[in-house]
Amino acid sequence: MKQYLLALTAAMGLALAACSSSNPTPSANSATISPSTKGSITFWTWVKDMDKEVALFNKKYPNIKVNVVNAGQGSAEYKKLQTALKAGKGAPDVVQIEYQYIPTFTVTNSLLDLAPYGADSLKNKFVDWSWGQVAKDGKVFAIPQDTGPMGMLYRADLFKKYGIAVPKTWDEFAAAAKTLHAKDPKAYLTDLPPNEPGSYVGLEWQAGARPFDVQKADTIGVSLNDAAAKKVSTYWSGLVKDGTVATDPDFTDAWYQGLASGRYATWLTAAWGPLFLQGTAKDTAGKWRVAPLPQWSTSEPAAGNWGGSTTAVTKQTKQPAAAAAFAMFLNSDPQSTALLNTDQSLFPATKAMLSDSTFLGQKLDFYGGQTVNQSFADISSTVATSFQWSPFQDYVFSEFNDTVGKAFSKKSDAGAGLNAWQAAVVSYAKDQGFTVP
């Protein structure tokens, strides 16, 4: 982590000093993509078994060779990418990047604007909030690939056992948490993992928190402790201090056992969670159901997002048209997006897949025959479009663990943790050369 941040800091310093590009905006001719477009490109992705998608692409673009490389997932890939970008060589033509890390690479001017290659024409193919994550000021820096709108998976059998109705509001959720824990002190309505900023920020997103406002390349507003964020921290602090929700680190052996054993009656998770849970808690098949997150206002349904990724083209590419063609085809072609869902189990970002009757009508026995995809497709339509990430999200997340997450672990004042998080991130942003209004 430290080495990555040092590399990122150096790259930011260069970008903020002079945001010029070694790869200028393409002319109309160089931006033209046709079935005769030629090239050999490298694609870094952690998604396995992309052979079918590449074969589909080659039916339309037979003269473009795609070399798929697994460069590691998330942070592991980003470290390699930052090193290559800083060195000026070795970066892939096309690369998978999570939504929250797009600004990390746009602030260093490392991603090719795909609008001149026709990417802007794809806008209406994707759910609005996902497009808002990749496009700004007429530029398109990546193509949405999959998403993670958040909902609630719950144990129907435990709800029935303890006489709990599915909570539609956060007040009802808090009451249910107290009821369940009073009836079974070893069980909790849910777990709030103090090491998982992604899910927590998703809950803030739902509540209306807007932690960042990237105003221009060197200016960013930081509001990690705005009114909505304080509302969320106050709410969860109350449940944590009462001992009615667990605070176990997630994706650990104990956490997996908690899901399988009934220690947690719900999992507040993203659209990728249902398939993940089927492989994690097989013996609980048929006992789970899905519902939207409890709401702060039932008259204005809202959800946040946790996870999902995009496909971007780096400015080091020597085959921009070929790379752009692949990034766009992979994530917008109907057959390709269907494969991403069925073969790689990615939750769709395209409106077409999210309205596909076969996809929506799929009944999962693990969830009592419920049409889980339909539920999450409905939830996806309620994710707000105005949420932004910072250009130094790794640091933001690491500081969460040391401030807000630590407060939850120790059952101390999460509000104070929120203020500490804000102060640390503002200080860091200024140290990197950003103006923080």
Please write the tens of the pLDDT for every residue from 181-238. 999 999 999 999 999 999 999 999 999 999 999 988 899 999 999 999 999 999 999 9
Per DSSP, which regions of 281-351 are E strands? 288-292, 309-313
* Phi, psi values for residue 32, rounded to 5°: -75, 130
Structural domains in the chain plus CATH codes: 2-7+19-147+308-354 (3.40.190.10), 151-305+386-431 (3.40.190.10)
Length of the chain: 437
pTM of the model: 0.91
pLDDT at 32: 80
Neighbours of 286 (CB within 10 A): 13
Task: Convert the pLDDT of each residue in 142-181 to its tens digit.
Answer: 999 999 999 999 999 999 999 999 999 999 999 999 999 9
Short-list 277, 247, 266, 250, CA closest to 196: 250
pLDDT in tens, 399-416: 999 999 999 999 999 999
Per-residue pLDDT tens for 353-387?
Answer: 999 999 999 999 999 999 999 999 999 999 999 99
Average pLDDT over residues 61-65: 97
Please provide the DSSP assignment of 9-48 as one string: HHHHHHHHH----SSPPPPTTTT---TT--EEEEEE----
Residue 307: pLDDT band (50, 70, 90) is very high
pLDDT score of 348 more than 90: yes
pLDDT for position 14:
34
Average of pLDDT values for 318-342?
A: 97
Say what the pLDDT of residue 74 is: 87
Distances (CA, A) of 119 to 77, 223, 275, 368, 437: 24, 32, 31, 40, 33
